[in-house]
Amino acid sequence: MLLLLFDIDGTLVRGATATHASALRAALREVHRIEPDDTHVDAPGRTDGEIARLILLAHGVDAKRIDERAADVRIACCETFGHNCPPDLSDTVIEGIPDLLAELATREELRLALLTGNYEPVARVKLRAAGIGHFFASHEGAFGSDSEDRAELPEIARARAGRDGVPHPRGRTVVIGDTPRDIACARADGVHCLAIATGSYDPEQLAGADGVATTPAELVVLIDQLR
């Protein structure tokens, strides 16, 4: 089977990050007693943990304390997001994505999972509110709660998709995302990467992928070429 690992923000949904970002910053206030709103981080393609670390370092919090309280930040962020996430995020789903996922889900030779920098509870709640969470099975994929380093996520996702302790093959794994960091994490694990220019980056900036689509319909063509 071909394992398809989908990013979320900018790839499946667009404009669903405000409550998410607010929850992460609220967690930093609660756990570290800082005021993070005046700190800008180039967030697309980063994990929640990495974003939190960059904000905290900018506020002079030392790395040891960041590591010691990382779980507390994660828990606080997920709880806040769970309480505050809008019940309906269907208007943030990128046009064509529901049809794309519905088509791919019918193909027995394909397996869909998530690979995202979101903490897993945030990812699951976000996609459930968007109406597309049912396409992605629990206990599959990889998330920002698994590692702060996005480059480690493809290997984690392959391990979860494997059988009898053998990870899913690199040659049958595809990371699908909308940022150069998605491409970089795929390259770090030696797996395929398809990019879709529906986020913050144009096709030229995503040229390092094995293929670049501008719409979900074009993405289907690229997936078929890898089969």
Q: What is the structure's pLDDT at 14?
A: 94
User: Where residue 106 sits, what CATH number does that domain have?
Assistant: 3.40.50.1000
Q: pLDDT tens per residue, the chain (227 residues)?
A: 999 999 999 999 998 899 999 999 999 999 999 999 888 999 999 999 999 999 999 999 999 999 999 999 999 999 999 999 999 999 999 999 999 999 999 999 999 999 999 999 999 999 999 999 999 999 999 999 999 999 999 999 999 999 999 999 999 999 999 999 999 999 999 999 999 999 889 999 999 999 999 999 999 999 999 87
Q: Name the pairing type of β-strands 173-177 and 192-196.
A: parallel
Same-domain status, 184 and 121: yes
pTM of the model: 0.96
- End-to-end alpha carbon distance in the chain: 9
* Domain encompassing residue 59: 18-84
Report the alpha-carbon distance of residue 2 to residue 170 in Å, rounded: 10
70 Cβ partners below 8 Å, 6+ apart? Answer: 49, 52, 148
Same-domain status, 172 and 61: no
DSSP classification of residue 139: T
Q: By the 8 A CB rule, do 113 and 140 touch?
A: yes
Query: Of 67, 84, 101, at which residue does a domain stop?
Result: 84
Same-domain status, 104 and 70: no
195 Cβ partners below 8 Å, 6+ apart? Answer: 176, 177, 178, 182, 183, 201, 203, 206, 209, 211, 212, 213
